[in-house]
Amino acid sequence: MKAGEHLIYLVLLMVFLVSCADGPTGEKTYQKSCANCHGKEGEGLKKLIPPLAGSDFLKDKKSELPCIIRKGMYDTILVNGHKYIGNMPGNNELSVIEITNLVNYINREWGDHSYQSEQEIQVELDKCD
Amino acid sequence: MVKGKILLLIIGLCVMVACKDAQKQLPILGPKELVEKDVNGKIAEDTIFHTIPDFRFRDQDSNWVSLATFNDKIYIADFFFTTCPTICPVMKSNLLKVYDQYKDSNSVSFLSHTIDPLHDSIPVLKDYANRLDINSFKWHLVNGSKDSVYAMAKSYLVSAQEDKEAPGGFIHSGALILIDKKRRIRGYYDGTDDKATAKLIEDIKLLLNEGR
């Protein structure tokens, strides 16, 4: 009986810990603000919208990611050898912490698995023009 | 005696269930009109269903597309614009799933109206179609004047209009609209929703079997 109670507390604690981690938040922001175009699994849309999954662009331009998310992208870019010409709208409504969680989610799912702090992301965002 | 009644009840229920299954078909949507007509000297009531009026637009290959293009075919219509930053990509991604399912069927076609005809010229539509890797005999992306495309949206009973406040400058319904061989509306499906898309794929099967 006592062991059972302990187990319940342990499970509750785990649930709390998981919900505090940045995972769900970054993923939620991705599904809300990015997935319509880049796909639920980061697969992109044929040759119309570039993928994040397996993208050489994501790995090469990692430091630009915060600015691209905030300001959007209006250039023709080359991803995995394909030219993409569409415009990506910016996401001015996202806060620094939301962008931080989003960047970490994207890098964990499809990038180099790196982690950046809110301060590091803020430094990048200050450099956006 | 009681046994006999129960047996009858069971048989009745079986017939009802069987009938329900046989009659399973898609509803005919839109405003209906009841008219009286003369059939061999007798007055009979008839229902006139809403139908899509004829049109004439150019597609990504500069070919004219009209209702005749969809002769003896059912088709799925939608409204979009190529620079749409919100719901269009996911709509197109879902529509591609439907397209892939019926790629080899001669009885199913696709018709996408751009609601931004000034930007979405025929070369722009052609590039868009190439990027989606779709066959222009099966999936027509059409360009018509703003007035005519908004009138088309009205006839499909969906919204499409210019709105400077909206992201991308236009607002439009995310509906995929299923049209039968008699040009009647048989279903609306939320093109941004996976489940609705799966239902569309099933409903097309049902519609293709109708009247066989």
pLDDT one-digit tens code per residue, A31-54 = 999 999 999 999 999 999 999 999
> What is the nearest CA distance from A33 to chain B, expressed in angstroms?
9
| Cβ-based contacts of A77 with chain B (< 8 Å) | none
* Chain pair A-B, CB pairs under 8 angstroms: 36
Of all residues in chain B, what percent carry a pLDDT higher than 90? 73
Query: Which residue on chain A is closest to B168 by alpha carbon?
Result: A89
> What is the nearest CA distance from B87 to chain A, expressed in angstroms?
6
CB contact under 8 A, B132 and A87: no
Domains along chain A?
23-126 (1.10.760.10)
pLDDT of residue B23: 55
Query: ipTM above 0.85?
Result: no
CA distance A47 to B193: 22
Position B8 pLDDT exceeds 80: no
* Spatial CB neighbours of B27, under 8 Å, sequence gap ≥ 6: B186, B187
- For the B53-209 domain, the top CATH level (class) is alpha beta
Q: What is the DSSP string of B66-100?
A: -GGGGTT-EEEEEEE-TT--SSHHHHHHHHHHHHH
Q: What is the DSSP string of B11-65?
A: HHHHHHHHHHHHT--PPPPS-EEEEEEEETTEEEEEEEEPBPPP--EE-TTS-EE
CA distance B184 to B26: 11
Which of A50, A25, A26, A23 is CA-nearest to residue A39? Answer: A50
> What is the nearest CA distance from B65 to chain A, expressed in angstroms?
24
The conformation of residue A88, written as its DSSP 8-state character, comes to B
What b/e readout covers A52-80, taking b as 16+ CB neighbours within 10 angstroms?
Answer: beebebbeeebebbbbbbbbebeeeeebe
For CATH 3.40.30.10, list the domain ranges present in chain B: 53-209
Contact B89/A at CB under 8 A = yes
Position A22 pLDDT exceeds 50: no
- pLDDT single digits (tens) B27-65: 999 999 999 888 888 888 999 999 999 999 999 999 999
**Average pLDDT for residues B133-150, to the nearest whole number?**
95
CB contact under 8 A, B89 and A49: yes
pLDDT of residue B189: 96
Give me chain B's average pLDDT, please: 90
